[in-house]
Amino acid sequence: MSKPDPVSIEVVGNYLVSAVREMNTTLRRTAYSTILRESMDSSTALFDPRGQMIGQADHVPSHQGSLAMAARMIAADIRLDPEDVVILNHPYEGGTHHPDIMIFKPVFHDGHLVAIAAALGHHIDVGGRSPGSISTDARDVFEEGLMIPPLKLYRKGEPVPEILRMIEANIRVPEKTLGDIRAEIGAVTVGERRYLELVERYGRDELAEIVAGVLDRSETLMREDLAKLPDGSYCAEGFLDSDGIVDAPVRIFVTVTLKGGSAVVDFTGTDPQLKGPFNCSHSSVYSAVYAGIRYLTNPVIRQNEGCFRPIEIVRPQGTVVNPVRPAPVSGRFTTLERIADTIVQAVNHARGEDQVGSGLACVCSFAANGTCPDSSRRFVCFEIFGGGWGGTMRGDGLSASFGLMANSYDTPIEAVESEYPLRVENYNLVTDSGGPGRNRGGLGHYRHTRYLHGEGYYTNRSETSKFPPKGVLGGRPGAASKQRLVRADGTVEDLPSKITNVSIHAGDLIWMSEPGGGGYGDPLDREPERVLEDLLDEKISPEACRDVYGVVVVNGELDLAATAARRAEFGGV
């Protein structure tokens, strides 16, 4: 067979992107829980018969390596028949952490396996010791929730009801979780249908050749982009506040070696595995590394297995990034965000002026449970929040956005208040949270949520309260995160970034403030007009305007002469 032509590679490559996006739209529109329906903490993908990723929806980067590893394992170890559906979430058998349930469906054409369709969704609860299954102090995987090894949920089109009954018996809100599983099945069915359309158009063998060309094309473009960076080894370290049990920082250390269009990411020097649940599962480490390296290359390169081929990973056994079972891993998202950010900071050393300030490098989140006032129906609410991105040579960082690994949404206030006995009372950007710089870091935001009825438990799983995002090239750090409970009687309880199952009652206020991104360049080099604009928008305070940026404003107008004099006092121009 002749080599596939470039036009076919482009057409099929873009069709695959369209198909996986449609899969995720199907999942989101049919999901039951707010975390999928509103926050879009989900991913969909297509794989070839060997489990190589041939297309992934551009939603949650942290799922890319995760789905790929599970798909390869299923392709190699499970006998697949037409109309089978496979379910799994076991973090040591291809999964990520307990709430991420994966669904896979083999795609057959004339009796031949031609592809595998996959969906992953973060589920609102999968059991364990804390509502929302996000315990911050679990000591092994068995405390973190129900674990499902790769099992056939459907055999040749027939459901296996015993598995669904087992899941239902082990979770707090089964109607949500089972409904979301059905949404995932709907998504992979769409993927199956779209891939079979391609097979009918091109033929099984020719399509396989074209798909191989799509992967090769992504690999070529990745290598070309990586080759533009100077060869060498570049190091950086990043820290978590704690592991949720021992109040001591957790060190992530990376050495990124670039050579001739390839990258080796070595974690030698990273702390030993943790007692608490912030170890990183095997597949999640790969996701973080792939995303960290991908952020150094052109975003228009199609996301597939070809992007991963130039990357090698070294993970010393028994460390945070290669824990030995049954080490707990449910908080692994916090760690993989820090991994991706630390990779970017390491490669900053190779990028000269084209550096980027550190972003939030975390997802701050909380879970709360209780009963609804008009019935005995139990609820579990899980909310995730973003923060500020770092400034770059091209402009200010994004504000109130998710980090490198999430790409999700805050749950809209209307959805929260219609779904749960909660009321969002304040939701706004945090003044002065963006790291000062020639280009400012993006701002974090605060969100205050009132618990309205009865009593339940509250779990806070946040980060970056001790280690604010760093600036670069003279840029200053962004603001750290802060978490509090304001009790109904006005008592204020400052909370650590990780705490599990705090009793909460009607009238109590959940107070969350998210981090801002690090700044880029000297704040005294920021144009006075931009400083004034930030002041008028309340992104910075009058004190920061005068004492950090050296800009003098009188009656809402710039005083350029006084500004030049003040900046001269600070040593600026």
Q: Does the pLDDT value for residue 1 go beyond 70?
A: no
Mean predicted confidence (pLDDT) in 292-318: 94
Mean predicted confidence (pLDDT) in 53-70: 83
Beta bridge partner(s), residue 558:
553
pLDDT tens string 112-155:
999 999 999 999 999 999 999 999 999 999 999 999 999 999 99
- Counting every residue written for the chain, the total comes to 573
Across 411-434, b (16+ Cβ under 10 Å) vs e yields: beeeebeebbbbebeeeebbbbbb
Mean predicted confidence (pLDDT) in 545-572: 93
Q: Which of 107, 121, 105 is nearest to 29 (CA)?
A: 121
Give residue 200's pLDDT. 97
Q: Does the pLDDT value for residue 292 go beyond 60?
A: yes
Give the percent of the chain with pLDDT over 90: 92
Q: Does the pLDDT value for residue 573 go beyond 60?
A: no
pLDDT tens string 187-208:
999 999 999 999 999 999 999 9
The C-alpha atoms of residue 216 and residue 254 are separated, in whole angstroms, by 28
Q: Does the pLDDT value for residue 500 go beyond 80?
A: yes
The C-alpha atoms of residue 501 and residue 459 are separated, in whole angstroms, by 5
Mean predicted confidence (pLDDT) in 476-483: 97
- Edge-first strand listing for the sheet containing 498-505: 378-385, 364-371, 455-461, 498-505
The C-alpha atoms of residue 52 and residue 561 are separated, in whole angstroms, by 62
Across 455-467, b (16+ Cβ under 10 Å) vs e yields: ebbbbbbbbbbeb
Average pLDDT, the chain: 95
Do 393 and 353 meet the contact criterion of CB atoms below 8 Å apart?
yes
Query: What sign for the dihedral angle of Cα 180, 184, 185, 186?
Result: positive
The residues spanned by each domain of the chain are: 6-220, 352-521, 528-570
Give residue 539's pLDDT. 98
pLDDT band at 63 (very low <50, low <70, confident <90, very high): confident
pLDDT band at 24 (very low <50, low <70, confident <90, very high): very high
Q: How far is CA 510 from CA 10, 150, 383, 399, 502, in A?
A: 49, 38, 11, 22, 11
Mean predicted confidence (pLDDT) in 401-430: 93
Q: Which of 435, 421, 426, 442 is nearest to 484 (CA)?
A: 426
pLDDT band at 2 (very low <50, low <70, confident <90, very high): low
Mean predicted confidence (pLDDT) in 271-297: 93
Give residue 190's pLDDT. 98
pLDDT tens string 231-245:
999 999 999 999 999
Give residue 572's pLDDT. 54
